[in-house]
Structure 1
Amino acid sequence: MTSVKPLHLVNSILPLHYDLQLELCPSKVNFKATEIIDFKPGTQGEGLLQRFELHSRDLVILSATLNDDIAVKVSYDKENQLALFNLDQPVDVLTMERIQLTLKYIGKIKTIKTREDETSGVFKTNFMNQETGLSDNFVVATHCQPSYARSIFPCVDEPSWKTTFQLSIKTLQKYEVVSNVGQLSSVADDNQDYKTVRFGVTPLMSTSVFGFVLGDLEHSTSQATMTHSSRRIPISVYSPMNIGDSIFCLDIVQKYLPLLEEYFKADYPLDKLDFVLLPFLTDMAMENFGMIFVQMNHLLLPPSMLADAKTREQVQQLVVHELVHQWMGNFISFESWEYLWFNEAFATWCACVLLEHTGDIPNYWTSSEYLQNQVENTMRTDAKIETLSISAISKKNTTSLTSQTHDFFDPHSYMKGIAILRSMQVCIGDELFRSALQEIFQEARFHAKPIKPIDIFVRMGVLLKSENIAHFFTSLCQTPGLPVVSVEIVKSESAITTRLTQHRLLTAKQKNLEDVPYHVPLLIQLPDGKIDQKNVLLTDRSTTLNYPIVVCNHDAQGFYRVSYESMECYDQINKEVALGKLSAIDLVKVFSDLSFFVEHSAKNIHMVGLYSLLKNLASNEMDLEKNKEYWAGLCEGLKILDLPKLKSLKYNCASSEILDFKAGILKPLANKINRMNFKNPDQYQLEVMSQLKTLKKN
């Protein structure tokens, strides 16, 4: 597909409201429709209208009239998925009391038979009637994201434009019918076989989150008691089958919908919320405003499956993630698919904040699932020279018309986005970060028009009186790679100073590489156990502190690596470990960063530091039975000894000293462990014992 200019920048009129009247029967391959579009004058031209365009795909427009009496000719640009509307004579839209286009047209109902079939536009699936055994039950649904609304009705099908919608559907009397908002009426036809369901008017929203579903659906209903708005919101789950297995989903919605309203201090924007479980859905989940679609095998789970804690956590993350989108992504929406990474990253970040706060997923942000499986892997990808910035990747992915959401979605940008949001939350402070978000949700302009993510952080900076907030966000989104902060503690007779220097981290040295300083959240832990409040953000190439530190990037909540480059640094860390004052996460992080340096850019001090840390843990003075939290760090440190560079378990220092890891660490550690009485060893203790056996053979 070729790139086309956005219609909201081309047309001299822009839609304000869509009124859709559809007639659907699943046994047919087409649907009939009448559409009434209310427009307003746009910013192009001088008020004279003779030609305009709307997105349209696989729709046959039978008639088009403007203000009931002005005939409009229709032609098509199929390559660019456009319907072209032409008037015989130009009209002055600035003098019109109303600008209303009425269309009658026919659209396609797509048949979905397998998981490989693309769900788009209006699609239908037949499935087995569990009572009769016949496959004569149907569900008809929609999928508008990213640009399939144009397969349902002619429209400006761009995330950069928001309107209101009102929908009527004529279909078989027996079918459940659901859309973005609640029903106003359901009127049976004279022959009683059909009914016409009329829904209310939606809030402002983009075409991508419009939708409806109808068919042979079971449902389970409850209410969510909203503490912020003092309302009771009807909540339901619809499914083609086994509705009893969706009760966990309904429980999650009932618990977290009020918590999200309270978190944002913003009323839930609709009059109800439904989850609809579908046999097939290309994107697995789709956060339509007020009506969330999910592929049913993700949420139809019997008690035997929910007995698994990991399964429950995954379901909770999925459901709460989709709930977050009702506020961020739908109520506040973004002007381009270029920002899909942020939309999805914010939903996951916010969901995990709440799930950790309630205890449903305890200690999430310091879990190995987050720090090792997600952040560590993302940093390793970002350290490669070929990895582009989030901004560059996003622009590259949205340069042309694309058929699938996953064509816009970049997993690396998404994971990095979560880490950026988490580091900003920690650096700014949870309460300040949350209060600024709450203020933003109260400002009508953030809902009235689609925005860029940077708009949020510029406004947050104004509210919190810090320009660095927007610079922080921009730094990590527009600059490729990630930073490494080197730390050097220097002791003299009169003072102790700490020198911090930042550069771009890479897996290999590059000549003539632009090395722009990042905005780095330092998150420094001091020897007294407190977090440094004097030096919070490193924005220059380097800075010198007139006091010692223990570690940077406390609990690994910032997206960067730390290179400790003086023996005094390792002495300080060893001292804190011996006292049991260093967090277990900090020890794991020190070893994780050392592992990267040993693999790619090891300095002599890294080898000496590694030897010192492991020797301290292996010594008899270090009580690992009392300080059980350090087994995870020990396990991470021993993994480094299995790297190719250290396979011999000996390393020659620049000073000609030989670091014999086998004699200095493995033997004393093995002797120490043999003296311990393990009744029920945990996973890290078992892994350390396994590592020792493997390393002894080298």
Structure 2
Amino acid sequence: MDPKDRDILPDVAKPKHYDLSLFDLKLGGSWQYKGTLKIDTVVTKSTSEFVLNSKEIEVQSAEVSPKDGGQSIKFSGVSYDEKSERVTLKFPQDIAPADVILTIEFTGTMNSHMAGFYRSKYKPPVTPSLATPKDGDQYYMLSTQFEACDARRAFPCFDEPNLKSTFDFEIEIPKDLTALSNMPVKNVRDGSSADLKFVSFDRTPIMSTYLLAWAVGDFEYVEATTERKYNGAGIPVRVYTTRGLKEQARFALSYAHRTIDYFSEIFEIDYPLPKSDLLAVHEFAMGAMENWGLVTYRTTAVLFEEGKSDAKYKNRIAYVVAHELAHQWFGNLVTMDWWNELWLNEGFATWVGWLAVDHFHPEWNVWSQFVAEGTQTAFQLDALRASHPIEVPVKNALDVDQIFDHISYLKGSSVIRMLSSHLGQETFLRGVASYLKAHAYTNATTNDLWSALSKASNQDVHNFMDPWIRKIGFPLVTVTEEPNQISLKQKRFLARGDVKPEEDETVWWIPLGIKAGPKSTVNEQQSLVAKSDTIRGIDEQGFYKLNKDQCGFYRTNYPPERLARLGKSQDLLSTEDKIGLIGDASALAVSGEGTSAALLSLVEGFQNESDYLVWSQIATSLGNLRSVFSANDEVAAGLKKFIVKLTTPAVEKVGWEFRPDEDYLTGQLRRLLIATAGHAGHQETVAEAKKRFDLWASGADKTAIHANLRSPVYSINVAEGGQKAYERVKEEYLQTDSIDGKEIALLSLGRTKDQALVKDYIDFLFSGKIAVQDLHTGAVSMAANSKARVTFWEFIKANWPLVEGTMSANKVVLERFIRMGLSKFADEAIEQDIINFYKDKDQSGFDRGLVIVSDTIRTNAAYKARDEQRVLEWLKTHGYA
């Protein structure tokens, strides 16, 4: 977008350097602090006022001093614009263009909203330092979260990504606590009283305000050193936790130092800072934040306890660590010019994060996981009219939080995977390295990346990637078979199947990746670059398949007979191919361009499948069927019978016991199949889950439930076992000391079918005993429970002031709660009720989420109306109903 269209600060002053000192921290009570800020500023136009970003900050004084000496000018007044989050400092005379020092004295608050400079409460597993802030039995740590627009919540600043500066930072804290920031500690001096100290840090490289970070707490750490040498020495890498948890940080540490070395190699630029710290934060709205040199994480994204944590969190931690460390180059060293190019940061870090995990764990088959969890999730949102282009115009930075979504992250990374596959990974990374070198310590645009990749590949990357980035949606490629050839047509895919001509004007470059013949050979360079084309030399009697390994970001619609034949050619399909086939069939059933019958027939052929990630896609597709048709008891019962028959061979084969030499994916398959079969009513699975739960719940055998099976066993028992099982899992939520235990218990509690317990669960969510960061988990569990959705919505309507008040201080959490909690309905009357309820409410921060909810419900309702009877007929014909 044109920079003139951005709502940005006046261009009369540009910061070069910040010197920030925080002191007199009230660690309890008001939680206020004082600050002194000196900004080395270039005044570019004569002005009598400075406008900075500021939120919930009170300015006590301000003055301007010429940098080359001379008389200081004290401010004559201050005004605040709360809506635009700006403060205007007024001076009694014009300040001429020059280098000046702007000095501001201010007061701020360490809030409890997971944004800005904030406090996190926690219950320590061991006795903490006496200096640790405390309130009742809750202790506190302090940390920051500034992306996208919350540095201004901690200190007044020029809070825009392309207004980069260097930073000196110091903070006054109790002597027994630890302070961290982006850079190593420079020195420690006495504070204003005997029990206080000032900790100051080395100057940062030039960087955006949103990457500045600090933390204070009763911290300990585990440490490793990079194997690679940087300026002749290894870089210290530490994972910090509050006291008593550091041993759970060793798993993350084992990846962090190796990941830094790996990225230094493939980006051809050494890690740019003298240290790398990772910090576990007890209350955290996101998954993690890439602050340069001090990456902060939600505890479940960085801590793991062998024997107590579910092994799936190993995969998550390895990926999240890699994603955030990738940002140290792609985002921090080179930063997007403006928030409309957020995808440059997030899409790339997502793709290269998985690249690193694949490098360390090829046996995890992460690209299949990426297709099943990443690409398919991106497809879901991008198939709605409510979607947006990857590169979305952002006029006001305050609107950006709602585009930290599946389009920026997952569609962005999917099209990068498509491009990398087309250019070749080595060529692609060579272009990325050139881009990083050319724009180090500055800001860059999507076009800058395309230029570097074009040069590296000798191809016009701009030409074939621009529609993918700047146009909404993605294509459906429809295949028609003719003698010795196939005809292909592309059009925009919409989940409702009702694309209008004016919505279908984009012509995408589509890499076809056609596998054909008995040896499944591929022509890598064949592309569809028009609305339609014919590919000759394809034997329509033999094997062929488009979109090898689901590298292209598009759906494929085959003739029904071809889809059936592909389902019987599984030996010629990769895991990604199978996931893509099932995902496409599922999406086409929803849109009406395929049928649920075709999906069920295809899936029926996977009864003997042994791959976890294929089963993951099957479970997702069948879960959507069960959700949409849940109100029809006959269809619901038939689908359960279908799933029981489908899963029985696989669940009996995988069994309940974990072997010491078993690979990670087998363990994940066991967890998934037990959950899928158990919730469909597979009697042996339900009986075993109840037996193990009873042994554990009674105390007869505390080891009866393997750590990896807590999720299926708890949830099956809550769904099948009434109040006793519900209360025991609720007790587990309140008492567990395992890092992932609360998340697992909360999701399981939402499975109850008892309306009284559904109401109790919803009340529990808003009882103050659930961390605000976890409320969206509760919303997910309510949405997934067809017996609870309406009750949940009625509660939200009746208690909106409570719901909004609990989460409104952090709109990211509120938007996620609304979007995830309300989008599983398949009833247009409820969709209209949602619209009517919110039309006179302040929707700021979640208005996009409401549009997505409406679009999704209308899509589900249209699918239900069209296919409900057809599904029932298929189930009856095949003996399931």
TM-score of the superposed pair, with normalisation by structure 2: 0.63
Q: Which residue, out of 529, 545, 556, partners 1:551?
A: 545
Match of 1:35 in 2: 37
| d(CA) in 2 for partners of 1:483, 1:456 | 24
Contact 1:72 1:86 in 2 (8 A): no
Aligned to 1:363: 365
Distance change in 2, residues 1:111/1:56 (3 Å): closer
Paired residue for 2:65?
Answer: 66
Asked whether 1:233 is paired with 2:222, we answer no
Alpha-carbon offset, residue 561 of structure 1: 1.4
Name the structure 2 match of 1:434.
429
| Bigger strand fraction | 1
Q: Mind listing any 5+ residue stretches in structure 2 that lack a counterpart?
A: 630-641, 656-668, 683-873
Residue 149 of structure 1 is matched in structure 2 by 151
Please say if 1:498 is aligned against 2:498: no
Superposed, 1:270-281 pairs within 5 Å as 270-281=273-284
Report the Cα distance in structure 2 between the residues aligned to 1:372 and 1:460, rounded to whole angstroms. Answer: 27
Judge conservation of contact 1:486–1:562 (CA < 8 Å) in 2. Answer: yes
Alignment of 1:286 with 2:289, yes or no, is: yes
The alignment covers a number of residue pairs equal to 628
Work out which of the residue numbers 507, 513, 538 in structure 1 matches 2:502.
513
Change in 2 beyond 3 A, CA 1:85/1:553: same
The corresponding residue for 1:662 is: none
> One-letter code of the match for 2:428?
F
Residues 10-409 of structure 1 mapped to structure 2, 5 A cutoff:
10-27=10-27, 29-42=31-44, 45=45, 48-57=46-55, 58-67=57-66, 69-73=71-75, 74-79=77-82, 80-93=84-97, 96=98, 99-112=99-112, 117-121=113-117, 123=119, 130=127, 136=134, 139-188=141-190, 192-226=194-228, 231-242=233-244, 243-296=246-299, 298-306=301-309, 308-359=310-361, 362-367=364-369, 370-391=370-391, 394-395=392-393, 399=396, 401=398, 406-409=401-404
Partner Cα distance (1:597, 1:135) in 2: 55
Q: What secondary structure is seen at the aligned counterpart in 1 of 2:25?
A: coil
CA-to-aligned-CA distance 1:494-552 (integer Å, 9 cap, x gap): xx3333221222332344434221121211223243220341x3221122333217111
1:158-196: CA deviations, max 9, x gaps?
123111111123333322121111122223359653333
Contact 1:72 1:85 in 2 (8 A): no
Distance 1:56 1:366, change over 3 A: closer
Matched, 1:447 2:440: yes
Aligned Cα root-mean-square deviation (Å): 4.2
The one-letter code matched in structure 2 to 1:442 is: K
Q: 1:388 to 1:38 in 2, by over 3 A?
A: closer
**SS of equivalent residue, structure 1 residue 185:** strand
Q: Which residue of 1 aligns with 2:584?
A: 593
Instruction: Classify the secondary structure of the residue corresponding to 1:390.
Output: coil
CA contact (8 A) 2:288 2:298 kept: yes
Identity of aligned residues (%): 23
Q: Which of 443, 452, 459 is the matching residue for 2:452?
A: 459
Q: Distance in 2 between matches of 1:590 and 1:296?
A: 36
- Supply the distance in 1 between the matched residues of 2:598 and 2:110 (Cα, whole angstroms): 65
- Contact residue 16 and residue 40 of structure 2 kept, 8 A: yes
Residue 657 of structure 1 corresponds to none
**Matches of 1:685 and 1:76 in 2, distance apart?**
61
- Alpha-carbon distance between aligned partners in 2 of 1:132 and 1:217, rounded to the nearest angstrom: 9
* 1:440–1:583 Cα change, 3 Å: same
CA deviation string 1:544-563 (max 9, x = no partner) = 33321711101212111122
| 2: CA distance, partners of 1:547 / 1:365 | 30
Cα distance per residue 1:430-487 (max 9 Å; x no partner): 11111111111111xx2343223343123312332222x2334321232222211123
Separation of aligned partners in 2, 1:386 and 1:407: 12
The structural deviation recorded for 1:205 is 0.8
Q: 1:227 to 1:464 in 2, by over 3 A?
A: farther
Confirm whether residue 560 of structure 1 aligns to residue 551 of structure 2: no
Match of 2:406 among 401, 404, 411: 411
Equivalent-residue separation in structure 2 for 1:636 and 1:313 (angstroms): 20
SS in 2 for 1:226: coil
- The structure-2 alpha-carbon separation of the partners of 1:570 and 1:349, relative to structure 1 and needing over 3 Å to count, comes to closer
User: What is the SS of the residue equivalent to 2:477?
Assistant: strand
SS of the equivalent of 1:267 reads coil
1:341-388 per-residue CA deviation (whole Å, 9 max, x = no partner) reads 442232222111110122166211123xx3334433432443334434
Question: Any gaps of 5 or more consecutive residues in structure 1?
Answer: 619-623, 648-665
Task: Summarize the Cα distance change of 1:142–1:694 in structure 2 as closer, same or farther, 3 Å threshold.
Answer: farther
In 1: Cα distance, 2:582 partner to 2:5 partner: 50
Q: Which runs of 4+ in 1 moved over 4 A?
A: 4-9, 122-129, 131-138, 189-192, 227-230, 569-577, 606-611, 627-637, 678-694
SS at match of 1:84: strand
- In 2, the alpha carbon distance for the partners of 1:632 and 1:122 equals 42
Q: Work out whether residues 189 and 197 of structure 2, in 8 Å CA contact, stay in contact via their aligned partners in 1.
A: yes
Amino acid at match of 1:120: G
Alpha-carbon distance in 2 for matches of 1:476, 1:594: 23
Following superposition, the deviation at residue 412 of structure 1 comes to 4.3
CA–CA separation in structure 2 for the residues paired with 1:91 and 1:106 = 22
Question: Match for 1:294: what amino acid?
Answer: Y
> 2:487 aligns to what SS in structure 1?
strand
Offset at 1:232? Answer: 0.9
1:394-437 CA-partner distances (Å, limit 9, x unpaired): 437x64635xx744422344322222222222122111111111
Distance in 2 between the 1:324 and 1:335 partners? 18
Q: Considering only CA atoms, is the larger Rg found in Structure 1 or Structure 2?
A: 1
Question: Which structure carries more helix by proportion?
Answer: 2
In the alignment, the residues of structure 2 paired with residue 608 and residue 148 of structure 1 have an alpha-carbon distance, to the nearest angstrom, of 49
In 2, Cα distance between equivalents of 1:348 and 1:64: 44
Counterpart residue number, 1:531: 522
